[in-house]
Amino acid sequence: MYIIFSPKSWQEYIDNQSEKQLIKKTNELIKELMRGNNTKGTGKAELLKHNLSGYYSKRITEAHRLIYSFENGDLLIYKCRGHYEN
């Protein structure tokens, strides 16, 4: 399984490096997802609708969400900063 970041999410991930708690929680969620724990572990996986149909969301903090999906066995990170399209 590979982790694939969208260009936007990679920039968000880089920007998150300055906030220690935010990057720590983001990394914990990614590690859990890499172990195959989509519905278990930290946070509740929410299946998204409308323009993000097929993606899941897990809360990183009150203001930030990890939005991701699985494709061909790989973890695709769509967003890791902000709340949906904010």
Q: Quick check: 58 and 46 in contact, CB under 8 A?
A: yes
Q: Quick check: 3 and 75 in contact, CB under 8 A?
A: yes
Is 83 an annotated catalytic residue?
A: yes
Catalytic residue among 19, 32, 46, 71: 46
**Count of residues in the chain:** 86
Catalytic residue among 28, 62, 83, 85: 83
Rounded to 10 deg, the angle between the 7-16 and 20-34 helix axes is 130
Q: Which residues are catalytic?
A: 46, 83
